[in-house]
Amino acid sequence: MIEVSREKFEELVADALDTIPPKLTRVMDNVVVVVVDDPPEPNLLGLYTGIPLTERGDWYAGVLPDRIEIYRNPICSICETEDEVVQEVRITVVHEIAHHFGIDDDKLHALGW
């Protein structure tokens, strides 16, 4: 386990978001990414809550933003170095953004994420 301050972890999440291609970030809509220390249930590194872009229709208006939570403590607990944290944060951010685009876990795992 490695200890990473919340401030540093938030920077790592921001850096991971910066690696997302602009073609994708331009179409991300009504979504917020936040760092949370602990997940609502064990073994989660991140969680997407919301309505994926693929499921939105004409009815979609006036709703609260989708939420992507990246969990600091579980990620730090499975990593031994800061480089491992950087890699795990990036993987988790990409994974949760994929859910925003309507890609489910089975497809993500088939794609190697």
Number of structural domains found in the chain = 1
Within-domain flag for 98: yes
The residue range of the domain holding 38 is 6-51+64-111
Does 103 map to a domain? yes
Residue 79 lies in a domain: yes
- Predicted local distance difference test score (pLDDT) of residue 111: 84
Output the tens digit of pLDDT for each of the chain's 113 residues. 899 999 999 999 999 999 999 999 999 999 999 999 999 999 999 999 999 999 999 999 999 999 999 999 999 999 999 999 999 999 999 999 999 999 998 998 888 87
* CB-based contacts of 15-18 (< 8 A; 24+ apart in sequence): 15/86, 15/89, 15/90, 16/86, 16/89, 16/90, 16/92, 16/93, 16/94, 17/93
CA geometry: angle at 66 spanning 63 and 72, to 5°?
Answer: 150
In order of 23, 25, 31, 70, the CA distances from 75 in angstroms are 28, 24, 22, 9
Q: Looking at the domain assignment, is residue 18 inside a domain? A: yes
pLDDT for the residue numbered 88: 97
Report yes or no: 76 and 6 within 8 Å, Cβ to Cβ.
no
In a domain, 58, yes or no: no
Neighbours of 73 (CB within 10 A): 15
Q: Report the pLDDT value the prediction gives residue 71, as an integer from 0 to 100.
A: 98
- The whole-model pTM stands at 0.93
